[in-house]
Amino acid sequence: MSNPLTRRTDPLDDFFRGFFVRPVDFGGQQLATPGTDAPQMRVDVKETAQGYEVHAELPGMKKEDIHVHIDGPVVSISAERKQEKEIKDGEKVLRTERYFGKISRSFQLGQEIDEAAASAKFNDGVLELNLPKKAEVQAKRLNIE
């Protein structure tokens, strides 16, 4: 039996533990059958030597309604789906399973992101972020004259 105090922990375990525990905030009115689960933003994160690749599923969203904020190593993705009402005269909605409201997700990466070189694409309901790592500042040694 291993001792938990002497056991080495993997930094990625700590990263994902905090990553998946964060709450997803849904605001506004949700038009759904009571008891159904609200949608979640599913996110994949891959690390390369140069940076991070993030894929976030945001089905039904428009790219204008998606916002990405980068603050050092913290990345926040939020999106809002607005309700579009189109009820014709004499028409009665019996059931709708589309969700309306806000969804957001924040997570911290292992290294600061170079915001100036970061890029984002949105295609077929998937947000793809390319987040290059910021070059680490090297300590400078001064020569004494």
Residue 51 lies in a domain: yes
Task: Give the pLDDT score at 142.
Answer: 82
143 domain residue, yes or no: no
> Of residues 29 and 98, which shows the higher confidence score?
98
Residue 36 corresponds to which tokens in the numbers above? Answer: 């159904």
55 domain-assigned: yes
What pLDDT is stored for residue 22 in this prediction?
A: 38
* pLDDT tens sequence across 9-40: 555 555 555 444 333 333 333 333 344 455 67
Do the bridges between strand 101-108 and strand 51-57 make them parallel or antiparallel, or are there none, so unpaired? unpaired
Work out how many domains the chain is built from and give that number: 1
Q: Which segments within the chain are labelled E, that is strand? A: 42-47, 51-57, 66-71, 74-81, 101-108, 119-123, 126-132
Residue 50 lies in a domain: yes
Burial 69-100 (b: 16+ CB within 10 A, else e): ebeebebebbbbbeeeeeeeeeeeeeeeeebb
Q: Which domain holds residue 66?
A: 27-85+94-132
Residue 137, in any domain of the structure: no
**For residue 96, what pLDDT band results from cuts at 50, 70 and 90?**
low
Q: Is residue 9 part of a domain?
A: no
Q: Does a structural domain hold residue 104?
A: yes
The domain that contains 127 carries what CATH number?
2.60.40.790
